[in-house]
Amino acid sequence: MVHISSPPEALSQRRANVVLVTLFLATFVLGSAELLVVGVLDLIAADLRVSIPSAGGLLTANALGLALGGPVLTAATIKLNKRTVLIGALALFVLANLVPALTSSLGLFIAARAVGGALQGLFIGVAFVAATTIVRPERRGRAMGVVLSGVSVSAAVGVPLGTWVGQALGWRGSFVGVVVLGVLALIAILALVPSVPSTGGAAGQARYAFAPRVLAVLGLNFLTFAAIFAAVTYIVPFLQHITGISGPLISVFLLVYGIATAVGTFGGGRYADRNAARTLLVGTIGVAVSLLALSLVGAVAALVALALAALGLFAMGMTPSIQYRVVSLAGPGGALASSLPASAINVGIAFGSTAGGLAISTFTTSSAVIAGLVIAALAVPVAVATRHLKPPTVETAPNQRAAKTSAELTV
């Protein structure tokens, strides 16, 4: 009888869980640093004596660094051991976030944010590869969900905490906090993450990573996050002018959304393992329905809270499936493709926030939600079309086929 076991790279479930928690801690730090500027933007602008729109370039720089620099760095380091890349990326990320605490130059601050964004994209893409290597195949979606959940939990917990520290100790104190947490995460990776060998060169992977089937799912990724952030970027004025709430209550509604995104990411990994393509379809429809509900019940606070919770659950519940589908459809190019969903998300966020802003400036406060709904409606047929895409069939070299046949006959 032939005994089939897990791949030799897979660790015991207990050890794998320890490594996944370590990667979760690291992505939590990365996500907190990315969004920290939002909560202390006014303090930064005042301290550096620049306008708030000028300080807003810090957000743009990070997003562009992640979207463009992440894939470039992933390709450049693809032949290196993944543990080495994780250590190097996080160490440099810590240094990039030390710069804001020491400089009074907005230009240097923006440059550091762009570098930090690129390193964040590199780290997250490689973390996906490492996470899916150390677990059994049937748990890969859940492993991706754990890595992603660090980012979503940072939005719900890390950013409010960083904002509080910024208000109490100054905005530089918030970045010092990020540096301290980053060092702790780096020590944990050094101690706990095992060696993960490289998976080949970038040139051989590129034609698989950028195949039309992969680009189609990335297009869906772009549309769904454009829809979400067309509405969410301007949710505070929506709550103020349409729902009629203000003050501390706004934070409660944002917390509801943040908690829902964290829960969605954790749970979404399990559905990715079951059927990632179907999860994407359900998630896309769920986002559209949630935005429709938000536009219809905007004046009823309790129903708005439910709609925001549903939006957070569907939005982040589908992200592990997006990652899973992109890597699966890329086949041999999975290691290179692993950094692409984060890029598509950031481009989608930039497009969606711009679309929502134009809608508000042209029409009314509620128009941002309508803009998101229109984009979500366009995403649904794309989700349907991508559901039946299959991974590539990779031909085996003649000598490998012969060796495989000989092994089968021996057994």
Q: Where are the domains of the chain?
A: 7-198, 202-394
Span 370-398, average pLDDT: 86
Predicted local distance difference test score (pLDDT) of residue 394: 62
The pair of three-digit structure tokens given for residue 1, joined into one six-digit string? 């009888």
Of residues 271 and 163, the one with the higher pLDDT is: 271
pLDDT band of 328, cuts 50, 70, 90: very high
Residue 243, pLDDT above cutoff 60: yes
Neighbours of 362 (CB within 10 A): 9
Of residues 404 and 53, the one with the higher pLDDT is: 53
84 contacts 189 by C-beta, under 8 angstroms: no
Predicted local distance difference test score (pLDDT) of residue 29: 94
pLDDT band of 10, cuts 50, 70, 90: low
Residue 200, pLDDT above cutoff 70: no
Give the closest residue to 318 by CA, choosing from 208, 210, 228, 216: 228
Predicted local distance difference test score (pLDDT) of residue 138: 87
Torsion angles phi and psi, residue 369, rounded to 5? -65, -40
Helices H, strands E: what count in the chain?
A: 19, 0
State pTM to two decimals. 0.80
DSSP single-letter state for residue 13: H
Strands (E), 22-115: none
pLDDT band of 400, cuts 50, 70, 90: very low
CA distance 21 to 25: 6
Fold match, 7-198 / 202-394: yes
**pLDDT, the chain, mean:** 87
Task: Read off the pLDDT of residues 96-123 as tens digits, 9 standing for 90 and up.
Answer: 999 998 988 999 999 999 999 999 999 9
Pick the CATH number of 7-198 from 1.20.1250.20, 2.120.10.10, 2.40.50.140, 1.10.10.10: 1.20.1250.20
Topology adopted by domain 202-394: Growth Hormone; Chain: A; (1.20.1250)
CA distance 39 to 279: 33
CA distance 226 to 350: 7
321 contacts 271 by C-beta, under 8 angstroms: yes
Torsion angles phi and psi, residue 77, rounded to 5? -110, 15
Residue 295, pLDDT above cutoff 90: yes
CA distance 126 to 400: 28
pLDDT band of 24, cuts 50, 70, 90: very high
Neighbours of 246 (CB within 10 A): 11
96 contacts 115 by C-beta, under 8 angstroms: yes
The pair of three-digit structure tokens given for residue 165, joined into one six-digit string? 């520290």
In total, the chain counts a number of residues equal to: 411
